[in-house]
A and B are shown apart, each in its own frame.
Chain A
Amino acid sequence: MIQPEERIRAAQAAVIVSNLILGAGILTLPRSALENTHTPDAWIAVLLAGALALLGGCGIALLSRRYPGQTVYEFAGRIVGRAPGFVLSVLIVAYFLATAAFQVRSMSEVSSFFLLEGTPTWVITAIFLWVGLYLTVGGIGPIARLFEIILPATVAFLALLSVLSLRIFEPDRIRPVLGEGIAPVLRGLKATSLAYSGSEIMLILTAYMRSPKQAVKAVAAGILVPIAIYVPIVFIAVGALSVEGTLSRTWPTIDLIRSFEIGGLIFERFESLLLITWILQIFSSFTIAYYAASLGVSRLLGGRSARLCLYALLPVVYLLIRAPRNIRDVFGFGDVIGECYIWMFGALPWALLILSVCKEKWNAKGQPSS
Chain B
Amino acid sequence: MRRASLLLRAAIALLGVLSSAGCWSSGEIETQSVYIGMAMDKSKSDETEAALDRKGGSYPKRDAIASTIQIVAVQTATGASPKQAGGEKKQSFRNLTLTGDSVLEILREASLRLDRPLIGHHLKVIVIGDRLARDASMGQLLDFFLTDNDIRMSSLVFVSNGHASEVMESGVKEEVPAFHLWGLAKNRYRNIKILPSRSLATVNGFVQAGDNFLLQNVIAAKGEMKLAGAGVFDGRSGKLRGFLNEEEVQSWVWLTGRGEGGVLKIDDERTRQVLAYEIETMSSRTKASVSKDGDISFDVRVESRGRLAENWTSSIRQSDSASIKKAERMFEEAVSNGIGSLLRKLQRDYGIDAAEFGNQLRIQHPKTWNKVKNDWNDRFRQASIRCRVQITIADSGAKADPAPNAP
Binding site for B on A (CB under 8 A): 113-114, 116-120, 123, 168, 172-173, 175-176, 179-180, 240-245, 247-248, 255, 258-261, 269, 271
A62 to B136, alpha carbons, bound, how many Å?
Answer: 61
B24:A245 contact, CB within 8 angstroms: no
B171 surroundings in chain A (CB, below 8 A): none
B363:A245 contact, CB within 8 angstroms: no
Number of B residues near A (Cβ < 8 Å) is: 24
From 177 to 224 in chain B, residues with beta carbon under 8 angstroms from any chain A beta carbon are: 199-201, 204-206, 208-210
B201 surroundings in chain A (CB, below 8 A): 168, 240-241, 245, 255, 258-259
A241 surroundings in chain B (CB, below 8 A): 201, 204-205
User: Smallest CB-CB separation from B369: which chain A residue?
Assistant: A179
B208:A244 contact, CB within 8 angstroms: yes
A179 surroundings in chain B (CB, below 8 A): 362-363, 366
Pull 5 A–B residue pairs with CB atoms less than 8 Å apart, ordered by A: A116-B24, A168-B199, A172-B356, A242-B205, A258-B153
A269 surroundings in chain B (CB, below 8 A): 152
From 347 to 367 in chain B, residues with beta carbon under 8 angstroms from any chain A beta carbon are: 356, 359, 362-364, 366
Known: A179-B363, A260-B154. 11 other contacts (CB 8 A): A118-B24, A168-B201, A172-B356, A176-B366, A179-B366, A180-B370, A241-B201, A259-B153, A259-B199, A260-B199, A271-B152
B208:A242 contact, CB within 8 angstroms: yes
B154:A245 contact, CB within 8 angstroms: no
A328 to B343, alpha carbons, bound, how many Å?
Answer: 46
Q: Top 3 closest A-B pairs, CB basis? A: A118-B25, A245-B205, A242-B205
A245 to B213, alpha carbons, bound, how many Å?
Answer: 14
Q: Does B405 belong to the interface (CB within 8 Å)? A: no
User: Smallest CB-CB separation from B366: which chain A residue?
Assistant: A179
Q: Does B78 belong to the interface (CB within 8 Å)? A: no
A281 to B133, alpha carbons, bound, how many Å?
Answer: 44
B359:A259 contact, CB within 8 angstroms: no
In this complex, which of A118, A179, A240, A243 has the most chain B Cβ atoms within 10 angstroms of its Cβ? Answer: A179
Interface of B is mostly: helix
A117 to B200, alpha carbons, bound, how many Å?
Answer: 23
B208:A261 contact, CB within 8 angstroms: no
B25 surroundings in chain A (CB, below 8 A): 116-119
CB within 8 Å for A245 and B149 given contacts A116-B25, A168-B201, A240-B201: no
B366 surroundings in chain A (CB, below 8 A): 176, 179-180
User: Smallest CB-CB separation from A255: which chain B residue?
Assistant: B153
User: Smallest CB-CB separation from A130: which chain B residue?
Assistant: B16
User: Smallest CB-CB separation from A262: which chain B residue?
Assistant: B154
A173 to B196, alpha carbons, bound, how many Å?
Answer: 15
User: Smallest CB-CB separation from B356: which chain A residue?
Assistant: A172
B204 surroundings in chain A (CB, below 8 A): 241, 245, 248
A176 to B201, alpha carbons, bound, how many Å?
Answer: 21
In this complex, which of A119, A172, A240, A242 has the most chain B Cβ atoms within 10 angstroms of its Cβ? Answer: A242
A119 surroundings in chain B (CB, below 8 A): 24-25
Binding site for A on B (CB under 8 A): 23-25, 146, 149, 152-154, 199-201, 204-206, 208-210, 356, 359, 362-364, 366, 370
A259:B152 contact, CB within 8 angstroms: yes
A259 to B210, alpha carbons, bound, how many Å?
Answer: 20
A119 to B152, alpha carbons, bound, how many Å?
Answer: 21
B24 surroundings in chain A (CB, below 8 A): 116, 118-120, 123
A243 surroundings in chain B (CB, below 8 A): 209
A118 to B25, alpha carbons, bound, how many Å?
Answer: 6
- Minimum Cβ distance to chain A for residue B298 (Å): 15
- Minimum Cβ distance to chain A for residue B354 (Å): 15
CB within 8 Å for A172 and B205 given contacts A259-B153, A261-B154: no
B208:A245 contact, CB within 8 angstroms: yes
B210 surroundings in chain A (CB, below 8 A): 244
In this complex, which of B23, B200, B204, B364 has the most chain A Cβ atoms within 10 angstroms of its Cβ? Answer: B204
A271 to B356, alpha carbons, bound, how many Å?
Answer: 31
- Minimum Cβ distance to chain A for residue B192 (Å): 19
- Minimum Cβ distance to chain A for residue B156 (Å): 10
B149:A117 contact, CB within 8 angstroms: yes
User: Smallest CB-CB separation from B209: which chain A residue?
Assistant: A244
B364 surroundings in chain A (CB, below 8 A): 176
A173 to B152, alpha carbons, bound, how many Å?
Answer: 21
B200 surroundings in chain A (CB, below 8 A): 259
B205 surroundings in chain A (CB, below 8 A): 173, 241-242, 244-245
User: Smallest CB-CB separation from A250: which chain B residue?
Assistant: B147
A114 surroundings in chain B (CB, below 8 A): 149
User: Smallest CB-CB separation from B124: which chain A residue?
Assistant: A261
User: Smallest CB-CB separation from A251: which chain B residue?
Assistant: B149
- Minimum Cβ distance to chain B for residue A180 (Å): 6
CB within 8 Å for A258 and B154 given contacts A119-B24, A179-B363, A241-B201: yes
B149:A176 contact, CB within 8 angstroms: no
- Minimum Cβ distance to chain A for residue B371 (Å): 13
In this complex, which of B24, B201, B359, B362 has the most chain A Cβ atoms within 10 angstroms of its Cβ? Answer: B201
A179 to B360, alpha carbons, bound, how many Å?
Answer: 12
CB within 8 Å for A172 and B152 given contacts A240-B201, A242-B209: no
A113 to B205, alpha carbons, bound, how many Å?
Answer: 23
A116 to B25, alpha carbons, bound, how many Å?
Answer: 6
B209 surroundings in chain A (CB, below 8 A): 242-245
A261 surroundings in chain B (CB, below 8 A): 152, 154
A119 to B369, alpha carbons, bound, how many Å?
Answer: 49
A172:B153 contact, CB within 8 angstroms: no
B23 surroundings in chain A (CB, below 8 A): 116
> B363 touches which one: A120, A176, A247, A259 (CB < 8 A)?
A176
> A258 touches which one: B152, B362, B370 (CB < 8 A)?
B152
- Minimum Cβ distance to chain B for residue A240 (Å): 7
A176:B362 contact, CB within 8 angstroms: yes
- Minimum Cβ distance to chain B for residue A66 (Å): 46
- Minimum Cβ distance to chain A for residue B204 (Å): 5
